Amino acid sequence: MPFSFVTFGRNDSIFVSNIVSRMSARAIDAVFQGLYLLTDIRMIMRKSVPDHMLTEEEKKIVAKTLDKLEKQIAILREEMIA
């Protein structure tokens, strides 16, 4: 990560971090979409209290939601790591 030093006196300097690369709008959107998808899963889990047994329909919904979540994670990997 690039950085710079700002000098205030003969021997005094303060390290100032410059964030050059900014978070892409696509990555930010992927974070929020992922959170919404996790909330959908959480709501299904809450409905299954106290036994936490999912119906076949709920299992299908969770599987589709997890697929969508994996796509958002792939976007985050692409935008932030690659």
Q: Is residue 6 situated within a structural domain?
A: no
Answer whether residue 34 is part of any domain: yes
pLDDT at 61: 98
Condensed to tens digits (0 to 9), the pLDDT of residues 46-81 reads 999 999 999 999 999 999 999 999 999 999 999 998
Asked, for residue 15, whether it belongs to a domain, the answer is: no
> What domain range is 28 assigned to?
23-80
Residue 70 in any domain: the answer is yes
Task: Give a yes or no: residue 5 inside a domain.
Answer: no
Dihedral Cα 77, 71, 30, 46, nearest 10 deg: -120
- Does residue 1 register a pLDDT over 50? no
- Give which of 37, 47, 44 is closest to 73, Cα–Cα: 37
List, for residues 5-55, the tens digit of each pLDDT value. Answer: 444 555 544 443 343 356 789 999 999 999 999 999 999 999 999 999 999
CA distances (Å), origin 68, targets 8, 23, 42:
51, 21, 15
Give this prediction's pTM. Answer: 0.70
Q: Does residue 7 fall inside a structural domain?
A: no
> Are 30 and 79 in contact, with CB atoms under 8 Å apart?
yes
In a domain, 56, yes or no: yes
User: How many domains, the chain?
Assistant: 1
Q: Report yes or no on 16 lying in a domain.
A: no
